[in-house]
Structure 1
């Protein structure tokens, strides 16, 4: 499935005078299934120790439970606090967290809608286990590698018109379905370097844009650093590749650096000179998907 444009072209604004691929929206976050290793890591996330916070913050989940709140967002896409619909201007604990059964089901079949304490380790463990089960029940049909490859293809497809103006070559290889951990890592490095090269080439072109260096912080998950043995090795290897791809997708989900780059490109698109150059390029290509710039360096 080497067609990079299909995903981006689905987001067409037909009223736009620009060709369809100029509709700039970062890829929507995709919540990946939580693996057993991710679950075990989640269960072991600890609170900030009491002696590291002020006396009046000892029972404050937003202070002491910060690491657990970050795990909820990164792995499950769940915000711990959400706006209270009945109380404008106030926040409340996300009702999704109240719906996760807690404790022994024999004693309490639906121990929901009770105060949810993220600082309580037993409740936190139930929360992580419940969220893991939910994430696997609702998992995307595509493999993590395919999800990752499609996201990167969409980003490349979106930035290609700008890259052509800057003379930057956009890679057009997609990740194979059997991509190794090393290939996934290499692809993320390539993406990071391509985005940074694009940002750098437009730095100073317009005010208040393209200012901060882009460096995608992707690290291979710990599970991928442990090797399987014997007959389980092949199966373990596939699991490791999926875990690595899922971790890469999580890096791209709502990534502030990518979101900022898209915002800056939207500003740039309004710039008269750039707009003219993009329309000229689009006319040359007949509105089709341009090939990567085979031109001078940026």
Structure 2
């Protein structure tokens, strides 16, 4: 079986940071980034150690928050203006450095490379926790706040025009939707590019999203996801699931939302061992359960890619 080459592509290294980024980097990291990486508390080390074996770009870029949206009661979406050399692949994350905050955040982009190319911004959707970087986003971050970011991660979808077509199965739990939403938006851009080029750019087979959250209010980006599926009904489809829905949360749940967890029956119709490429992101127990189900359905391990953020 041939696995598409974009699965093993190494993250591209960027040129050294601009002078402004170097100045901010110095303030944030001190004289030795490598030394500071292992000096802080266990929770900070969790992100850096957990991702130590992942590819990382060399450049650390200064950036500025230019918009804040309440995506849900527990999630804020940041719109961040970045340096012109900033670059990422759909599905990747950033090391997120905040002046005055010792701990380093790790947040997946929820926007796609196309938005960066058009507007020079990226977006991060951050759920409230007591972890200092997330707590800062929810309690202290304002439009105009300065941060610095470094791109990393081997969990991405970045096909070349010559790569074989695949059917994507995207499975998300909670805020694990972030990198998968980035991939979905990138797939929309790929479809538009292929149409504009007369079929010379990459051709996606199909994309199906299975997305589970506690309740319908925590199904982030659902309206945009529905719109993408309506725009390309022959290419995109979705299943929304809520696991702890109550009448108090939403007295009129939408008919397109399923109650209960994502099951084998839901996944079976979207697994073709020869064509399906699955991206998973969510809590470890969910990742492990879904991965086992997919292998039981005949999908090989190299076609199951996952990102664990808890």
TM bucket normalised to smaller: under 0.3
With a CA cutoff of 8 Å and minimum separation of 6, indicate the structure with the bigger relative contact order.
1
Higher normalized strand content (fraction of residues) = 2
Higher normalized helix content (fraction of residues) = 1
Give the TM-score, by structure 1 length: 0.24
Point out the structure with max Rg over C-alpha.
1
Give the TM-score, by structure 2 length: 0.23
